[in-house]
Amino acid sequence: MTGRPLVIAIDGPAAAGKGTLARRLAEHFGLPHLDTGLLYRAVARGMLDRGEDPADAEAAERTARALDAKELDASELARPDLRTPEVDRAASIVAARPAVRAALRAFQRRFPAERGAVMDGRDIGTVIFPEATVKLYVTASPEARAERRWRELTGRGIAVERAEIAAEIAERDTQDQSRPVGRLVKAEGAVTLDTTDLDPEAAFAAALAAVNAHIGAQP
Ligand code: DC
């Protein structure tokens, strides 16, 4: 054993199934889970609530700093209105700001300090925890991801067209892969898990096998 807490870093594009996998792995290993996308969503939500423009760089940085200073009580990330199409758009704008990413980094670094964690996002294995015990890069075809997101939204009673979701996924991929900081790339040493043809059960089995192989390989 290294004596360091177990950190499982999961990165990948929007709607690839990271969240479900992260939750299930956290449950399996008895670890806390942090969906880091919620941090960017909380910044966006706070700005929208105050009538601020998500493109306002100063307001975005101020909001991110305030969020970190409060040590983020969990209720803030449990708000049901963080997953709306409006917040999707605003979050991707604030997430492109280096100052916002820097302000949210300390919280993310502290999160696993005592008990370890499963953390999912875009830059966990590359920027936040390059030293994570295990890194997974979870992906799926754009078509499969659009279909899943469409099912999820319509299941929650949000009326959207499939084509609209496909276009938004494509746009989000471009933003995730082209911002200057926290860009979505596969981390060095990450295991790729393509869930295109996997149901949630098979995806979990594959992720668990990858994690166990790494833990077993720890010195
Ligand atoms: O995973 P998600 O859709 O909830 O993420 C919301 C937004 O935040 C999305 O635009 C990507 C961005 N994000 C990021 O830049 N870095 C992270 N670690 C997690 C999310």
* Number of separate domains in the chain: 2
Which residue among 20, 47, 92, 137 is best mutated to probe the pocket of ligand 1, counting the most ligand atoms within 8 A of its Cβ?
Answer: 92
* Protein residue closest via CA to atom 1 of ligand 1: 37
41/16 same-domain check = no
Residue 219 covered by a domain: no
Give the sheet arrangement for strand 191-194, strand by strand: 33-35, 117-121, 7-11, 134-139, 191-194
Q: 67 C-alpha to center of ligand 1: Å?
A: 16
Please write the tens of the pLDDT for every residue from 162-207.
999 999 899 989 988 888 888 899 999 999 999 999 999 999 999 9
Beta carbons within 10 angstroms of residue 213's beta carbon: 11
* Protein residue closest via CA to atom 2 of ligand 1: 37
Residue 103's nearest CA partner among 169, 40, 152 is 40
Q: 172 C-alpha to center of ligand 1: Å?
A: 9
Residue with tokens 């870093």: 9
124/73 same-domain check = no
Please write the tens of the pLDDT for every residue from 42-87.
999 999 999 999 999 999 999 999 887 766 666 778 888 998 889 9
CB of residue 37 inside a 6 A radius of ligand 1: yes
Please write the tens of the pLDDT for every residue from 21-34.
999 999 999 999 99
Mean pLDDT of the chain: 91
146, 138 in Cβ contact below 8 A?
no
pLDDT of res. 1: 46
Q: 88 C-alpha to center of ligand 1: Å?
A: 9
Residue 218 covered by a domain: no
Domain range enclosing 149: 1-32+117-213
Last residue of a domain, one of 95, 110, 125: 110
91/44 same-domain check = yes
- Find the radius of gyration of the CA atoms of the chain: 17
Residue 143 covered by a domain: yes
Does this model's pTM top 0.85? My answer is yes
Angstrom distance (rounded) from CA 193 to CA 70: 35
CB of residue 22 inside a 6 A radius of ligand 1: no
